[in-house]
Amino acid sequence: MAEIETALAQVAAEMAEARDRGSVATYIPQLGKVDPQRFGIAVAMNDGRVFAEGDADEPFSIQSVSKVFTLTLALGKIGDSLWQRVGREPSGNPFNSIVQLEHEHGIPRNPFVNAGAIVVTDVLLAGHQPREAIGEILRFVQFLCDDDSVYIDRSVAASEQATGFRNYALANYMRSFGNLTHAPEMALGVYFHHCAFAMTCRQLALAGRYLANGGRHSGTGHTVISTERARRINALMLTCGHYDGSGEFAFRVGIPGKSGVGGGILAVVPGVASIAVWSPGLNANGNSKLGSLALERLAKVMNWSVF
Ligand code: DON
């Protein structure tokens, strides 16, 4: 097996040469301003070692990667009753699609498509003011990565709040089926803010350690969630974490991963490591183009696969 330092350096060097880097998301205007040349990667091994290359210490907008953390919190809050309101099947549709909701009683296919994540956020809002719910999610992520410098990029949240018309449509539509308990603008206010968390690859890889380590925080040994729940979140990341590109990601990379339109991906090698990669240019499915390629290369060289 290759040494991780050598493998990471090789992958980063290959990515630095890449010409076709995909296109930066522009539907959230603030994301369109990010330099597509950036590339960072960090690996947090279960044994405590952390390795990084490229722009691994530059914060970026984690966007949908935050859905892994909100799902973890919502399962902690209401347990498996969550699955009465959100499904566990791949959608085969883009992340912001509305079509399935009409025939499926307003129940989103999974917690990672936007509609599903908005329901998850609605769960976290219960009993809280929006600002308290946002604070709870932020503190949880800061705890996971042992770093309270994780922050909310308010310009990104405001940018999406002003332009997220599809998400307003999704939330209103689900509300009409009774699958949203708060006013759409309240649930979306929280959702836009957790999507706007700014994190570095290093912080994100550290935050994902509990998923690689059977639900335990490998820094402190504290149980974050049960081993069974960590396995199930990993299963959902594998089957749904890249939307209609999930099959391709599983085929090429072979480990669970969750992408965000900011160009970040959190990937998990159960029992071994948590990996975060960032390259802002996206492929046609809205997933980081070079991020996916870097993970494919790294997994191959390191012989990492869940299969
Ligand atoms: O709701 C949205 O459209 C964004 N805040 C998040 C979407 C996202 O990251 C999809 N991931 N590839």
Per-residue pLDDT at 1 exceeds 60: no
Asked if 111 contacts 120 with a C-beta cutoff of 8 angstroms, the reply is yes
Is 89 a residue whose pLDDT tops 80? Answer: yes
Question: For residues 63 and 156, what is the distance between their CA atoms, to the nearest angstrom?
Answer: 10
- Quote the pLDDT of residue 109: 98
Average pLDDT estimate for 16-41: 96
Q: How long, in residues, is the chain?
A: 307
Amino acid at 100: Q
Tell me: pLDDT of 106 over 70: yes
Quick check: is 67 catalytic? yes
Q: Which of 34, 141, 261, 268 is catalytic?
A: 261
Q: What is the pLDDT averaged over residues 82-102?
A: 96
Centre of ligand 1 from the C-alpha of residue 264, in Å: 11
Structure tokens belonging to residue 209: 């350690």
Residue 282 to residue 159: CA distance in whole angstroms = 19
Give tens-digit pLDDT for 216-255: 998 889 999 999 999 999 999 999 999 999 999 999 999 9
What pLDDT score was predicted for residue 218? 87
Q: How far is the CA of 27 from the centre of ligand 1 (A)?
A: 10
Q: How high is the pLDDT of residue 256? A: 98
Residue-wise pLDDT for 136-152, tens only, equals 999 999 999 999 999 99
CA–centroid distance, 95 to ligand 1, in Å, is 7
Mean pLDDT for 93-113 is 96
* Amino acid at position 91, single letter: S
User: What is the pLDDT of the chain when averaged over all its residues?
Assistant: 97
**What pLDDT shows up at residue 223?**
97
**From the CB of 61, is ligand 1 less than 6 Å away?**
no
**Residue for token pair 């989103």:** 108
Give the mean model confidence (pLDDT) for residues 173-202.
Answer: 98
Annotation says 99 is catalytic: no
161, 86, 153: which is closest to 117 by C-alpha?
86
**Is it the case that residue 119 has pLDDT exceeding 90?**
yes
Cα-based distances in Å from 32 to 138, 196, 256: 24, 14, 27
At 226, give phi and psi (nearest 5°): -70, 160
Instruction: Report pTM.
Output: 0.98
Residue 182 scores a pLDDT above 90: yes
- Taking residues 265-285, report their average pLDDT: 98
Q: What DSSP line would sit under the chain, residue for residue?
A: ---HHHHHHHHHHHHHH-S---EE--SSGGGGGS-TT--EEEEEETTS-EEEEESTTS-EE-GGGHHHHHHHHHHHHHGGGGGGTS--S--SS-TT--HHHHHTTT--S-SSSHHHHHHHHHHHHTTS-HHHHHHHHHHHHHHHTT-TT-EE-HHHHHHHHHH-HHHHHHHHHHHHTT---S-HHHHHHHHHHHHTEEE-HHHHHHHTHHHHTTTB-TTT--BSS-HHHHHHHHHHHHHHTTGGGHHHHHHHT-S-EEE-TTSEEEEEETTTEEEEEE--EE-TTSSBHHHHHHHHHHHHHHT----
Give the nearest ligand 1 atom to 285 CA. 12
CB 33 within 8 Å of CB 21: no
N- to C-terminal Cα separation, the chain: 17
pLDDT digits (tens, 9 = 90+) for 30-76: 999 999 999 999 999 999 999 999 999 999 999 999 999 999 999 99
Alpha carbon nearest to ligand 1 atom 2, residue: 114
Atom of ligand 1 minimally distant from the CA of 195? 5
The full set of domains in the chain, from first to last, is: 4-62+200-302 (3.40.710.10), 64-195 (3.40.710.10)
